[in-house]
Chain A
């Protein structure tokens, strides 16, 4: 756990582009909210590995969003069921239902559909909000945090030692 928090701090404090971190967070939201072994998640994994998104953030985000998903399951079910049973979309879903690939994706499950739509709707706003927050953090908070007494005290802790050792080994800050 200490190592994970150290990693996150390192990423936030590093020169990694905010976009890479934010995108990793958004992808982790899709994988975390939707059932892990859904077909679309293979595509997300491929994108995460091929695009230069931050993997540490992705893994941490995945843990975070998977935990939250359990609490949000009733909402996902409600959204999914409402969308899947909407008479206006019946034709579309019927066409999808008769496509082998989409049947494998299990789009007709209320939780899969609900969680996927929920994460897709939040994808773009989350990207920009995360981006903004990371930049704000680096500009205003980081320098101030470094100077605070708490941070000074923190630097003397075991946690910071782990973080520093890890950074040195990875050739980072």
Chain B
């Protein structure tokens, strides 16, 4: 029996041709579907492609009608591209390397409307970025109304009242303590007994040596006892004196407390021109915050394009293939090359002001293999309302452990018109016209974000729609805003790409602060007076009670003084007393 069937060879060739034919027939559809599904996975919104055309001669790919929906605004395309032309390097393709020599993006438009929603799923929402400043709710216009002092006292605790209560309690305890101690000390009766004894000894006539010696001994005993009791009184008097000094000090502090309350509440509630120091944040904070959030959300979506997730197993680098089956193990290549690379992409973006053209080089998720970072630069061409625009920078992930991405933005002569700076009902402000120059630099190193920008606005025309302002303070503010012809705005962003701080400062803040200073000062004085009177009303009575209680301790002191004085007198007399008028050598 024959072992070979030659017709099988023909069948194989036919089958092979059939497979190749089918591949050619369906490759365009397959590419279209792959771009749509992978793109949607990356962007978290619909990615649609009108047509894909793969050609062998010349080897390349042409995509038409690419629309990428904005995940945050599904009825808008983040961008759309009329045509993308890509030319492939065939030799590299045989080594499973998709290397595009050149990519040209024609007719790129941003933020175009969509007919259908571009949302793909509720769960695939945008990655949240926590910023601390952008929300307008967090930064409010300072209120220049004089607050109601009585209303303030209803919600605020007065420290003076707390001090009074605590002092009153301590005073009461002291009073009780001293009253009890006074009761235990030798009183007038006891001292009276000493007096009687002294009188008796003075008038008494002892006979003989025994009598004289007996009298002397009695005098000695009396004087010992009197001295001991006198000591007790004097010690108590001294201690009370010390306590009184300390209590008087506290009383002085308590007396000062209402003034401190006034000061504290004035600081907290008084209208102050310092509130205007936040004006730039109020005017531009929300806008700059929103721009930063949008930028960071798109930056995060670019992550997989910049850096592939690489694992190491058994010491070898493994890369998860796209279809998710098994892993591809990498080995050292004689000529190392990234799996995917676009050497140069020519971009032409149509913006309302005109055309922005530029180049992006080295687009690859394997920068560590290529050894060169992604570089980009775009510049405006014949723009209207914008003298010049230049953006350049690099996304450097050559060493993934110290990745650093930078962007430099330079804008000159940007005409601004009718920009709402504040929608606050009290003081709506519109930047009617201005010309802005901006220089900004953004650096993202790993997760750390640092950005700073300086915007200079010239030929400024600002105003408020409320032309007939009656409030003198608002009038001053409106006038200052209208007189302003130029100002600078500095923005500093620091933190991480997940949670950043935005600091805005401008000479606008000082101008507005100075404008309202005088009016605000007068209001503050008025508020302070009212506050003082309301606080005094509240603490006045309690303060008088304290004085009385402290006076109560004073009467104990007087009593001690009287006893001490009486005791001293007795002691003197006891020294004069002796046996039969004879002085004792004591």
Q: What residues of chain A have their CB less than 8 Å away from a CB belonging to chain B?
A: 17, 35, 42, 45-46, 48-52, 73, 76-77, 80-82, 84-85, 87, 90, 93-94, 96-98, 100, 103-104, 106, 108-112, 114
Of the candidates A35, A42, A81, A108, the one whose C-beta lies within 8 Å of that of B325 is A35
CB atoms of A97 and B331 under 8 A apart: yes
The complex places the Cα of A164 from the Cα of B258 at a distance, in Å, of: 113
By a CB distance below 8 angstroms, the chain B residues around A96 are 331
Say how far B164's CB is from chain A's closest CB, in angstroms. 79
Q: What residues of chain B have their CB less than 8 Å away from a CB belonging to chain A?
A: 1-6, 8-9, 11-12, 15-16, 94-96, 313-316, 318, 321, 325-334
By a CB distance below 8 angstroms, the chain A residues around B313 are 81, 85
Q: Which secondary structure dominates where chain A touches chain B?
A: helix
Of the candidates B3, B6, B326, the one whose C-beta lies within 8 Å of that of A80 is B326
By a CB distance below 8 angstroms, the chain A residues around B96 are 103-104, 106
Nearest-neighbor residue (CB-CB) of A90 within chain B:
B331
CB atoms of B328 and A85 under 8 A apart: no
By a CB distance below 8 angstroms, the chain A residues around B327 are 77, 81, 109-110
By a CB distance below 8 angstroms, the chain A residues around B318 are 81, 110
Shortest 8 CB-CB distances between A and B: which pairs?
A111-B326, A49-B8, A85-B314, A97-B331, A110-B326, A84-B329, A50-B8, A94-B331
Say how far A2's CB is from chain B's closest CB, in angstroms. 26
Of the candidates B2, B321, B333, the one whose C-beta lies within 8 Å of that of A97 is B333
Q: Which secondary structure dominates where chain B touches chain A?
A: loop
Of the candidates A45, A90, A103, A104, the one whose C-beta lies within 8 Å of that of B12 is A45
Nearest-neighbor residue (CB-CB) of A45 within chain B:
B12
Say how far A139's CB is from chain B's closest CB, in angstroms. 20
The complex places the Cα of A110 from the Cα of B326 at a distance, in Å, of: 5
By a CB distance below 8 angstroms, the chain B residues around A73 are 325-326
The complex places the Cα of A84 from the Cα of B325 at a distance, in Å, of: 16
The complex places the Cα of A87 from the Cα of B331 at a distance, in Å, of: 12
**Given A52-B1, A94-B332, A109-B328, A104 and B9 contact (CB-CB distance below 8 Å):** no
By a CB distance below 8 angstroms, the chain A residues around B11 are 49
The complex places the Cα of A46 from the Cα of B14 at a distance, in Å, of: 11
CB atoms of B15 and A50 under 8 A apart: no
By a CB distance below 8 angstroms, the chain B residues around A48 are 8
CB atoms of A104 and B4 under 8 A apart: no
By a CB distance below 8 angstroms, the chain B residues around A52 are 1-5
Say how far B337's CB is from chain A's closest CB, in angstroms. 11
CB atoms of A103 and B5 under 8 A apart: no
Of the candidates B12, B328, B332, the one whose C-beta lies within 8 Å of that of A49 is B12
Nearest-neighbor residue (CB-CB) of B315 within chain A:
A85
Of the candidates B5, B95, B316, B329, the one whose C-beta lies within 8 Å of that of A100 is B95
Nearest-neighbor residue (CB-CB) of B93 within chain A:
A104
CB atoms of A46 and B12 under 8 A apart: yes
Of the candidates A50, A93, A108, the one whose C-beta lies within 8 Å of that of B4 is A50
Nearest-neighbor residue (CB-CB) of A111 within chain B:
B326
